[in-house]
Amino acid sequence: MSRMNMVEALNNGLHLGMRENENVVLLGEDVGLLGGVFRVSAGLQETFGTDRVLDTPLSETGIIASAIGMALYGLRPIAEIQFADFAFPAFDQIINELAKYRYRSGNQLTTPVLVRMPVGGGVGGGLYHSQSPESHFAHTAGLKVVIPSNPYDAKGLLLAALREQDPVIFLEPKKLYRTTSAEVPDGAFTVPIGSARRVREGTDVTLICYGAMVPLAEDVARRAAEEQIQVDVLDLRSLLPLDIETVLASVQKTHRIVIVHEAPRTCGYGAELASLIVEKAFWSLDAPILRVTGFDTPFPYRLEKEYLPTSDRILDALRTTVAA
């Protein structure tokens, strides 16, 4: 066990994963000599050499396409996109190629690429260093999508993703990179993909969240408890596949749901969550499902704090839901 922040936990996980399997390579912009602009890959090139930690030209299409080609060869590439906002230039390779290769080849050729990218706001990044594109990925059959909210899960999910036989989109909430640290085992361990985590037990209302919203939700739940609202907080960790059982179990207990995410509301991941709950547990619901999300605007710069879900806005939603 060591105390690690999320960057350290990811870095540690990358070291272990690369040591464990010599077919793992890491590629991306600035991942080598610099060790990544967030330093998640610090020291890896020194340890594993320039043949396994590859600084690429400035082309996200090139990064993902190369990773696909490498995976076809038999490597297990980890592709870093410097910011999730810059996954859009590679969308065609991700959606039309990476996600569909196994299917379209009839299971002959597979592309188990792990695509890492920092997501989300809270760091003053403005329009192009803050976006949360998870629902685009979750809409794409053939991808798995995970997002840790703490150093332990970050490492465990990373190592689990490295054992997956399918492409995994690994979203790293950049706001959490260095804000908290936790005890994390030094050795290898995995957090299974597809399993949510109950962060806090409660009976009055379920608060579903993921990524950087989790610490915020914990804080809100504490405040709610002071008002005698006991919140069941779920950290999804895995968006595709979703841990539907844990979600439904909580619905059956609390009958009231609030969903939180940073991404814009319309067609965000919260829409899918709400729809699934209505489909599968309509008769258990005692109140409308509320969504507290980023607004349906581009991500702003100076008014970022006003844009992102706040503790107050979530608390309001909890109160409304419980009172309904």
Partner 1 sequence: MSETELIRVLGDDDTSPAPYHPSLDDESLLALYRRMVQTRLFDAEMIRLHRQGRVSIYSSSEGEEALAVAAAMTLSEEDWLFPDYRVSGALFERGVPMEEFLAQLFGTSKDLSKGRQIPTHYGSRQRHIASISSPVGNGIAHAVGFAWAARIKKGPEVVLTFFGDGATSEEGFHTGMNIAGVHKLPVVFVCRNNQYAISVPFNLQTGSDTIAVKAKAYGFDGVRVDGTDALAVHDVVREAVERARKGGGPTLVEGVSYRHGAHSTSDDDTRYRKAAEAEAWRKRDPIDRFGRYLKSRGLWDDARDAALRETLESRIQTAVAEAEAAPPPPLESLFDDVYDDLPWHLREQRQDLTDHLRGLKGRKP
Interface residues toward its own copies, by CB under 8 A: 85, 88-89, 91-92, 95-96, 99-100, 103-104, 127-128, 135-136, 138-139, 141-142, 240, 263-264, 266-272, 274-275, 278-280, 282-283, 285, 287-291, 295-298
Determine if 204 is a binding residue for ligand TPP (CB under 6 A).
no
Q: What is the dihedral of CA 165, 173, 230, 239, to 10 degrees?
A: -30
Tokens of 82: 């410097």
Binding-site partner at residue 68 among its own copies, partner 1, ligand TPP, none, CB < 5 to 8 Å by type: partner 1
Determine if 89 is a binding residue for ligand TPP (CB under 6 A).
yes
Element containing residue 53 per DSSP (H, E): strand 53-55
Catalytic residue among 129, 136, 255, 261: 129
Could you tell me if 209 and 234 are in contact, meaning their C-beta atoms sit under 8 angstroms apart? yes
Binding-site partner at residue 274 among partner 1, ligand TPP, its own copies, none, CB < 5 to 8 Å by type: its own copies
Count of CB atoms situated within 10 Å of the CB of 212: 27
Tokens of 125: 């990044």
In the complex, what is the shortest distance from the CB of residue 248 to its own copies, in angstroms, rounded to a whole number?
A: 13
For partner 1, the closer of residues 184 and 256 by Cβ is 256
For its own copies, the closer of residues 53 and 263 by Cβ is 263
Could you tell me if 9 and 151 are in contact, meaning their C-beta atoms sit under 8 angstroms apart? yes
Binding-site partner at residue 305 among its own copies, ligand TPP, partner 1, none, CB < 5 to 8 Å by type: none
Site for partner 1 in 73-112 (CB under 8 A): 73-75, 85-86, 88-89, 92-93, 96-97, 100-110
261 is catalytic: no
Could you tell me if 64 and 74 are in contact, meaning their C-beta atoms sit under 8 angstroms apart? no
- Tell me, by CB under 8 A, how many residues bind partner 1: 85
Total count of residues recorded for the chain: 324
Site for partner 1 in 47-76 (CB under 8 A): 51-52, 54-59, 61-62, 65-70, 72-75
In the complex, what is the shortest distance from the CB of residue 188 to partner 1, in angstroms, rounded to a whole number?
A: 21
Count of CB atoms situated within 10 Å of the CB of 104: 13
Site for partner 1 in 301-320 (CB under 8 A): 301-303, 306-307, 312-313, 315-317, 319-320
Among residues 29, 97, 218, 235, the one that binds ligand TPP under rule CB under 6 A: 29
Angle formed by the axes of helices 151-161 and 6-20, to 10°? 20
**DSSP character for 284?**
G
Site for ligand TPP in 127-156 (CB under 6 A): none
Site for partner 1 in 139-168 (CB under 8 A): 141-142, 144, 164-166
Angle formed by the axes of helices 269-281 and 244-254, to 10°? 60
- Three-point CA angle 220, 148, 45, nearest 5°: 140
| Cβ-based neighbours of 106, under 8 Å, separated by 6 or more | none
Catalytic residues: 129
